Structure 1
Amino acid sequence: METPTSTRRLDRLPKAHLHLHFTGSMRHDTLIEMAEARGVHLPQALAEEWPPKLRGTDERGWFRFQRLYDIARSVLKRQEDMYRLLREAAEDEREAGSGWLEIQVDPSGYASRFDGLTATLELILDAARVASEATGVGIGIMVAANRTRHPLDARALARLARQYVGKGVVSFGLNNDERRGRARDFEAAFRIAKRAGLLSTPHGGELNGPRSVRECLDELDADRIGHGVRAIEDPYLVERIATQEVTLEVCPTSNVGLGVVEKVDHLPLRRLYDAGAPIALGTDDPLLFGPRLLEQYRIAREVFEFSDPELADLARMSIRGSGAPDSLKKEMLAGVDTWLATPPEDGAV
């Protein structure tokens, strides 16, 4: 019999993780170990005051965030580092109950170390394959363009991603500071990706408002939107997202860490959900923000009072919005039903 304190264990709820950046997935102790081994000096914010205090709502704050991210990326110098990162990311997903991880990476950030764009992407795809086989977690790669670079660079990445459809690449994204590159400038790259059968998964509606989200829908034909929480400022836009079933990748602790909202209870998670917007909870960059996927579900439960049936609904949304194979989606959705049919436990987390 269910009591007010009866809940089901969230780590046993099958789910998909759709918003995780490659370097940002690194464990903090792995960063410390690799930095020492590779001779990389870490600033105090990464070494001793972790997680760092961040705020990306002004240019100086975003620059500091990007600088820390770039320093962390610089420890990934050897092929074995890439294999380790993905193996540990998959292990963390398995512990959280995630059966599918869609991790996003801009291969150009590593190309100079690993013999060019194509060789870098093939290295990442092989590391993903090995990690998946070792953990049982499905892994898809999102090739993500950098909106602070020229749109021609994005087209080159889209053409590269197109070559690996059916070979591990499942989506095409657009990341970095949306105030420095409008979505519409990258329409040609996303047209290439969509025609190849890749999901369109740009960032939008994080540091900019509804116009950013609207451009992702109108110009990039988005299937999912990274963050998208600022859509709440336009009720008609939220209704459109719900009607078109565009999944919003909502990252609670990241949104607080970068100052999108002052406190986690200010996040419009409940309002978006109640309005019918599909939502996939994500972590963004746990290396810099701390909490991983399980904590995002705990926030939904403890801060926004999502019931177990509603948490199951969030998990289903993440699975349906993913680029996972249909067979895996079917298996995971059945697992969600099984989780919900299992009697709750007192004090379960």
Structure 2
Amino acid sequence: MKEKTLNVFRKIAPDVMGTIKERYLLLRHISDAEPVGRRSLAALSGLSERIVRAHVDVLRRSGLVRFTTMGIALEPEGRRLMPDLLECFLRLNNVDDMQRRLCQHLQLKEVYIVPGDCDTDKAACEEMGRQAALLLNDLLTRGAIVAISGGSTMAEVARCLPESTAGPVIVPARGGIGNHVEFQANYIAANVAVKTHGTYRMVHIPDGLSQSALHLMLDADEQARENVALAQKAQIVLFGIGRADTMAKRRGLTTVETHALKELMACGESLGCYCSLDGHVVHVTSNAGISLKDIKKHPHVIAVAGGTSKAEAILAVMRACRTGILVTDEGAAEQILKMI
């Protein structure tokens, strides 16, 4: 659909635009959770049960969904239309323009914005993971070295990655952090390797060590040194982005260290680097692996993060990064554009 036609529709039938948006979002939730009941759909979408009932009745008559004893599910035609509906939805919401503006301001190769806000919409998190997984899948080749960081967003990317026989080498981008095994870079790297019939290496070094302790561990472990060196040669790097205050707490920084970060106006963190809103790296943790400061030496870089609450962090880190691809959501994108 041409942009000129969409602009006419927006002016003469704004109510229709709202209806299209609601029905697309319902189809997306059905796709992610099928079979699903009307009450669950209402909770997922934030719409009333009455509105959900009216929409799904129309979608059923159109042959896009079916009612079963277990709940509502997509018909094959509905599944086939999902990619086209997503493109139409993005255009209706001016996402094309937002992507161009962010790409230009942050000097990135590409920006992908998925519908919704990860802070309140689980489906947006899944859509973001799916988009990043598809981008990664397109880059995979046999023997390519892929470095991936830890975190819940990277775990979602690994979950959404389609199975292939690409055969890459997967390494953790950094050492371990936190107590959740499923969010550790080592664990995520192993999952990606299994799905792509590749091999993986592990780095058994915790994040946040002192410089002297880090050197001591690397000197004593030849395999760790080799795996860290391999990560630093990665052709493809995937990483998430966190708020500076959240990551300081997760790393167990002292009150003095946390206060120092506030004094330095750090608001975003990625790959061990804390960044201020203007894109300056104001603090770097001691850790084995890839640093945001050296990110431009890697040919393919994909950053994945969303949610309105992370907008400042994303803007800070991507201003420091200024390379590669950003995958985010509408909530974060709209807030970032307000700030810039």
**Same fold, TM exceeding 0.5?**
no
User: Which TM bucket (shorter chain)?
Assistant: 0.3 to 0.5
Give the alignment's TM-score, normalised by structure 1: 0.34
Q: Specify which structure has the bigger relative contact order, considering alpha-carbon pairs within 8 angstroms and separated by 6 or more residues.
A: 1
